[in-house]
Amino acid sequence: MSRATGPDDVMPVLSTRARLAGRAAVLVSATSRRLGRGGGSVIGGRAGLLLAPDLLALLAAGRSVALVSGTNGKTTTTHLLAAALGGGDRVATSSAGANLPPGLVVALAASPPGTPAVLEVDEAYLGTVAGAVAPRVVVLLNLSRDQLDRVSEVRMVANRWRRALTDLETTVVANADDPLVVWAAGTAPKVIWVNAGLLWRGDAIGCPACDGKIIFSDSDAPGNEASGGWSCVCGFARPHPDARLIDGQLATADGRRLPLHLRLPSRANRANAAMAAVAAGVMGVDESEALAAMAVVTDVEGRFATVTHAGVTARLLLAKNPAGWTELLDLLEGGTEPVVIGINARIADGHDPSWLWDVPFERLSGRLVVATGDRRKDLAVRLRYAGIDHMTVENQLDALTAPGAAAVQYVGNYTSFQDLRRLLPGSARQEPVRRSLSVPLVSALEVPVPRSSSRRTTGESALRVVVIYPDLLGTYGDSGNGRILACRAAWRGIPVELVLARSDEPLVRGADIYCIGGGEDGPQIQAAERLADGVLASAVGSGAIVLAVCAGYQIMGTSFPGPDGRPYTGLGLLDIDTIKSPGPRSVGELVAAPFDGGRNPTGVTDVHFGHLTGFENHAGLTRLGPSVRPLARVLTGVGNGADVRPDGTRTEGAWSGRVVGTYMHGPVLARNPALADLLLTLATGASLSPLEDEEERALHDERVRSLDVGGGASVSAQAVAKWRQLTGGRGR
Ligand SMILES: [Zn+2]
């Protein structure tokens, strides 16, 4: 019989240097906490790493380590796996705000050597951390866009994971339903594939193997909570799962069916628990024991907890991107309590909340929603176009009580959730109930329901608005432009139909307005190839209007750059061409002023627009030829980048006939209702009755004022010089 081993037997001896550095990390963290500077892990860990750059490896030596990474669910999965391994002092574990190397150093240094560790790791640092700590298991949950201003990094992260895992002696527990995760784990020596589901597929559409398109099968097996299969024509496809979620049970690789009795709500958490249970199995804990230990977890760092404030009971939920919201809307379904939604756009959230337009808030129909947080105005406009009764409240605590209900559901994105948690403890009992009487309630308005292009129901006389390929070019919420146009027509009594035209169907002919948005390089090329069939060009020839944004804008030109900078042929509907900027991406607030004192370049005389505001996020430098007019001149940000007028004026967007292009997301028509009405005026040939646009105007004015505080991207003189050189000095 083998000798029982306790921590004393296996405890490795740390070098003096590692001990001192580890102690310094813990000490500095504790001091920082005492001084009230937050959790303190970061500064303490940094101090430790300064003393011993290899501290992470030193502290991890002799431990059984699990790493958990992914865009959504990593904090919960880390928490569940730590619980499965015994929880409390028996496991070293990191918290949500401390998932970079300095935070991990403190998590390890604060626990005795030899203690097993479950560490949440930021997606961008997984390779570095895995290389240092020699993990026994790596759990890969999912990859989707999180901070929209970093969206171009999602595929980069998948490739970085793939390189890091190829040579790593570890077991990878991977979500077989996410093509990007499968790509990342595809070359790892030992993988356990889990069929845990992926409700949000919006970011997984581009094949990581060939830049083609992933086709998801919707014919899920009965009782299977998780997703069905997926594949690409290149042969890249979902691997056969070793474990899966079926009928609320975990079907293990060895053929057992283990029930999940979680106290954490939602399908997403059942998937997280399934992943954690399989990982626990790799760590030497039987899956059924692991699941039993997870069953007692009631909240994860405040998420899913219920609190009481000024007599109002609030359940606290966190959702920071469309993928997270897709899961949460399932959870909220069927309830009647008001929903309080806090939205910020700080660094940790990403500076661009355009993703709100990819969340189907329409599903909250019939419930009162309170918009709060720094970016409540963006949310209020989104809710208006979703037809949701809503009110706007500045202070998050007031927002909980504003509906006057006994119970509310609170959903915050990352920093607004942290803000509310900070506000809550001291105020939970003392704060007097303050009814926010000044808060206006905006009632739901009738909203046109979009239809797929394969069915035609509405009469030919209706104004037809088509969103081109939202499945390819739907990364930045630009599909919202179509919805906004349709709503603004419907609210004026103009019959309208809104069509979302997917890329696997022929483009609808004969529409009045076509909208096309931004996306990644691969899908941009696919969209351009499909649009080369001439349907759009002939529609423009017959007088259709096109609103083209970002990647869609570049496609309208004569040429645009692929991922490697190689030029691709555009549609030639605008006399512009675009190259890849040799500098960094242009990411930030973009404010531009119209030429001619607000007169628009279309000849429509009764619509004027003031400053235009949007959020740009592109790597293009666009030059305007002689037969287009710029949309506006840049006040802050980059815009076209390569179009500088003799007087030094830099321009944004382009306009020619009835085709208009811009780099502005937001969506652009949400922030600039005058531009939406200009397009509708052109399309209908009639003057439009005014709308009550208080919320849009409030958002517009707030964003234009952001000009004063900066925040815009800038284009380097070097980039412009490079453009001049490439174009033989034609750049103006
Ligand atoms: Zn492929």
CA of 161 to the centre of ligand 1 (A): 18
pLDDT value for 428: 42
CA of 239 to the centre of ligand 1 (A): 14
Does 259 have pLDDT greater than 80? Answer: yes
Does 436 have pLDDT greater than 50? Answer: no
More confident: 645 or 137: 137
CA of 206 to the centre of ligand 1 (A): 8
Q: Is residue 709 very low, low, confident or very high in pLDDT (cuts 50, 70, 90)?
A: very low
Domain ranges of the chain: 63-94+112-294, 306-423+438-442, 460-726
CA of 211 to the centre of ligand 1 (A): 6
Write the pLDDT tens digit of every residue in 279-326. Answer: 999 999 999 999 999 999 999 988 999 999 999 999 999 999 998 898
Q: What is the CATH number of domain 63-94+112-294?
A: 3.40.1190.10
Whether 282 contacts 173, CB under 8 Å: yes
Mean pLDDT of 25-39: 64
Q: Any idea which of 18-22, 112-116, 206-210, 371-375 has the lowest mean pLDDT?
A: 18-22
Q: Is residue 438 very low, low, confident or very high in pLDDT (cuts 50, 70, 90)?
A: very low
CA of 576 to the centre of ligand 1 (A): 31
Write the pLDDT tens digit of every residue in 186-200. Answer: 999 999 999 987 777
Whole-number percent of the chain with pLDDT over 90:
64
Write the pLDDT tens digit of every residue in 573-613. Answer: 999 999 999 888 899 999 999 887 656 666 666 667 789 99
Give the C-alpha separation, 319 to 341, whole Å.
Answer: 10
Whether 562 contacts 525, CB under 8 Å: yes
CA of 167 to the centre of ligand 1 (A): 24
Q: Is residue 730 very low, low, confident or very high in pLDDT (cuts 50, 70, 90)?
A: very low
pLDDT value for 129: 96
* 655, two tokens: 């306009």
Mean pLDDT of 128-141: 96
CA of 147 to the centre of ligand 1 (A): 26
Does 6 have pLDDT greater than 60? Answer: no
Q: Is residue 721 very low, low, confident or very high in pLDDT (cuts 50, 70, 90)?
A: low
CA of 139 to the centre of ligand 1 (A): 24
**Can the peptide bond before residue 450 be classed as cis, meaning omega within 30 degrees of 0?**
no
Burial of 534 (0-12, 13-18, 19+ CB in 10 A): exposed
CA of 158 to the centre of ligand 1 (A): 15
C-beta atoms surrounding 444 within 10 Å: 14
Give the C-alpha separation, 125 to 652, whole Å.
Answer: 36
CA of 178 to the centre of ligand 1 (A): 14
H or E stretch covering 615: strand 612-618
CA of 258 to the centre of ligand 1 (A): 35
pLDDT value for 719: 54
CA of 684 to the centre of ligand 1 (A): 42
CA of 304 to the centre of ligand 1 (A): 38
CA of 463 to the centre of ligand 1 (A): 38
Residue 79 neighbours by CB under 8 Å, 6+ apart:
93, 297, 300, 301
pLDDT value for 229: 86
SS3 523: helix
CA of 241 to the centre of ligand 1 (A): 20
More confident: 97 or 159: 159
* 414, two tokens: 């990352």
Does 435 have pLDDT greater than 60? Answer: no
Place of tokens 């299977």: 224
Mean pLDDT of 34-40: 56
CA of 142 to the centre of ligand 1 (A): 18
pLDDT value for 4: 39
CA of 492 to the centre of ligand 1 (A): 45
Whether 663 contacts 639, CB under 8 Å: yes
CA of 213 to the centre of ligand 1 (A): 6
CA of 74 to the centre of ligand 1 (A): 27
Q: Is residue 2 very low, low, confident or very high in pLDDT (cuts 50, 70, 90)?
A: very low
Mean pLDDT of 133-137: 97
CA of 356 to the centre of ligand 1 (A): 29
Give the C-alpha separation, 371 to 444, whole Å.
Answer: 14
Q: Is residue 556 very low, low, confident or very high in pLDDT (cuts 50, 70, 90)?
A: very high
Give the C-alpha separation, 373 to 420, whole Å.
Answer: 9
Q: Is residue 415 very low, low, confident or very high in pLDDT (cuts 50, 70, 90)?
A: very high
pLDDT value for 427: 44
Q: Any idea which of 242-246, 383-387, 717-721 has the lowest mean pLDDT?
A: 717-721
Q: Is residue 425 very low, low, confident or very high in pLDDT (cuts 50, 70, 90)?
A: confident
Please name the fold of domain 306-423+438-442.
Answer: Protein-Tyrosine Phosphatase; Chain A (3.90.190)
CA of 192 to the centre of ligand 1 (A): 22
Give the C-alpha separation, 152 to 406, whole Å.
Answer: 43
Place of tokens 């992926």: 198
pLDDT value for 708: 61
SS3 242: coil
Q: Is residue 89 very low, low, confident or very high in pLDDT (cuts 50, 70, 90)?
A: confident
pLDDT value for 728: 46
Mean pLDDT of 362-384: 96
| Alpha-carbon separation of residue 631 from 599, 648, 650 (angstroms) | 11, 16, 11
SS3 648: coil
Q: Any idea which of 7-11, 342-346, 593-597 has the lowest mean pLDDT?
A: 7-11
Q: Is residue 489 very low, low, confident or very high in pLDDT (cuts 50, 70, 90)?
A: very high
More confident: 694 or 598: 694
DSSP 145-203: --SGGGTTHHHHHHHHHHHHHHT--SEEEEETT-HHHHHHHTT-SEEEEEE---S--TT
CA of 552 to the centre of ligand 1 (A): 23
CA of 203 to the centre of ligand 1 (A): 15
CA of 566 to the centre of ligand 1 (A): 20
pLDDT value for 55: 87
Phi and psi dihedrals of 342, rounded to 5? -105, 125
CA of 231 to the centre of ligand 1 (A): 8
CA of 214 to the centre of ligand 1 (A): 7
H or E stretch covering 384: helix 376-386
Does 431 have pLDDT greater than 50? Answer: no
CA of 234 to the centre of ligand 1 (A): 4
Phi and psi dihedrals of 451, rounded to 5? -125, 160
Considering 53-62, 131-140, 602-611, the range whose residues carry the highest mean pLDDT is 131-140
CA of 602 to the centre of ligand 1 (A): 43
pLDDT value for 53: 80
Q: What mean pLDDT value characterizes the chain?
A: 86
Whether 188 contacts 166, CB under 8 Å: yes
CA of 521 to the centre of ligand 1 (A): 15
CA of 670 to the centre of ligand 1 (A): 35
Strands in 567-569's sheet, in edge-to-edge order, are 567-569, 559-561, 576-580, 620-624
pLDDT value for 605: 61
DSSP 304-343: T-EEEETTEEEEEEE--SHHHHHHHHHHHTT--S-EEEE-
CA of 237 to the centre of ligand 1 (A): 8
Does 215 have pLDDT greater than 70? Answer: yes
pLDDT value for 610: 83
CA of 215 to the centre of ligand 1 (A): 10
Does 437 have pLDDT greater than 50? Answer: no
Considering 1-15, 49-63, 480-494, the range whose residues carry the highest mean pLDDT is 480-494
Does 374 have pLDDT greater than 50? Answer: yes
pLDDT value for 35: 57
Mean pLDDT of 341-351: 93
Q: Is residue 145 very low, low, confident or very high in pLDDT (cuts 50, 70, 90)?
A: confident
Whether 204 contacts 144, CB under 8 Å: yes
Nearest to 631 by CA among 652, 648, 658: 652
Q: Is residue 5 very low, low, confident or very high in pLDDT (cuts 50, 70, 90)?
A: very low
Give the C-alpha separation, 315 to 332, whole Å.
Answer: 11
What would be the CATH architecture of the domain defined by 460-726?
3-Layer(aba) Sandwich (3.40)
CA of 501 to the centre of ligand 1 (A): 22
Whether 473 contacts 552, CB under 8 Å: yes
Q: Any idea which of 70-79, 207-216, 362-371 has the lowest mean pLDDT?
A: 207-216
CA of 314 to the centre of ligand 1 (A): 45
Residue 114 neighbours by CB under 8 Å, 6+ apart:
7, 10, 11, 12, 62, 63
Is the fold of 63-94+112-294 the same as that of 306-423+438-442? no
Q: Any idea which of 364-373, 695-704, 723-732 has the lowest mean pLDDT?
A: 723-732
Residues listed for the chain: 732
